[in-house]
Amino acid sequence: MQLYNNLSTKERAELIEKAGQERLTISFYKYAKIGNPEIFRNHMFLAWDELDVLGRIYVAHEGINAQLSVPAENFEIFKNHLDTITFLENVRLNIAIEHDNFAFLKLKVKVRHKIVADGLNDETFDVTNKGIHVDAQKFNELIEDPETVLVDMRNHYESEIGHFKNAITPDVDTFRESLDLIEEDLREHKEDKKLVMYCTGGIRCEKASAYYRHKGFKNVFQLEGGIINYARQVEAEGLENKFIGKNFVFDQRRSERISDDVIAQCHQCGEPADIHTNCANEACHLLFIQCDACKEKMDNCCSSHCQEVIKLPYEEQKAMRRGQGNSNDIFKKGRAEHLPYKKDLRNIFETQGKNG
């Protein structure tokens, strides 16, 4: 019984190219009580491996968080399989705006303590007492209300390339950092303002809305299905699109374009750009924004040092990485000191009213 991948990413990419089949990129989540995550994990892996599903899926006692791709011809079988699982029956599937057959190259189903690293002790509040879910039309109405405070629950490197007009964009590296920061800055408005939140697909807002209700916020709302679902609704229903720029996604595509606006800049030269890349130096692998001109000039590297490293023989590069672990720059997500045009550190309220 095969419960893990036995193909390299290169081998998988070759198979995908040879098959020539369209693949759909999908994400979904569901909070539910799973008694034995390991057994559930194995069941999902076996079923999805048969359908050539690829992706990154987290399973925990509290539920499932999935980002994956599936051959279009297998979509209905995949959906039918989900419907056989009680808590996943008719689960909302966020289907990507832009598809890439190579978005995922392995099927990874992992058991985690939580499906999102929120740093919260769920025993201290009612996680089912969530905020009100709203669709794209209602969301548009809410964010035009002067009594609304609109908060982006994503990280700085996500909102840097795209966000809703007039949204507060917390300058944080992780979701868990934003929770207390937002509460502190909005503590005087727990009763008189409408707190409206959004994220990529909805999962971060799901827990955050319950947390903020527990903390005393009276009017809490969240965008149903996040930015992904919003973009589809706007197009299908002919609504005004209030999102500017690109939606950051956590697969090989790295983003989906929602509007033609380019609101970010190349971290190396300062020219308008909104394409994230990872430094070609495997010992660095820093995620940063790089324009095409700098990409060519710098050989897809974040610094001249890394540019020199990638020109060394592979074995020498490998020896340099041995025992070093990952560079701390990786987790700065574009904030490395040597990037002259990295996003500035700002108080979260400085962006409100200036991003539109």
Please identify which residue in the block is written with the tokens 């989906």.
Answer: 256
Tell me which residues are annotated as active site. 199
**Nearest alpha-carbon partner for 247 in 223, 219, 220:** 223
Instruction: Write the CB contacts of 106 (distance below 8 Å, at least 6 apart in sequence).
Output: 5, 7, 9, 12, 54
Chain centroid offset of residue 60 CA? 18
| Radius of gyration for the alpha carbons in the chain, expressed in angstroms and rounded | 21
Residue 280, pLDDT > 80, answer: yes
* Three-state DSSP class for residue 142: helix
Query: Per-residue pLDDT tens for 201-229?
Result: 999 999 999 999 999 999 999 999 999 99
Query: Per-residue pLDDT tens for 38-94?
Result: 999 999 999 999 999 999 999 999 999 999 999 999 999 999 999 999 999 999 999
Domains and CATH numbers, the chain: 9-111 (3.30.70.100), 122-237+345-350 (3.40.250.10), 276-332 (no CATH)
> Mean pLDDT across the stretch 261-269?
96
pLDDT reported for residue 350: 46
pLDDT reported for residue 1: 55
How confident is residue 332, by pLDDT bands cut at 50, 70 and 90? low
- Strand 63-71 versus strand 23-31 pairing type: antiparallel
Residue pair 221/134 in contact (Cβ under 8 Å)? The answer is yes
User: Across the strands, what pairs with 297?
Assistant: none
How confident is residue 349, by pLDDT bands cut at 50, 70 and 90? very low
Question: Residue 53: what residue type?
Answer: V
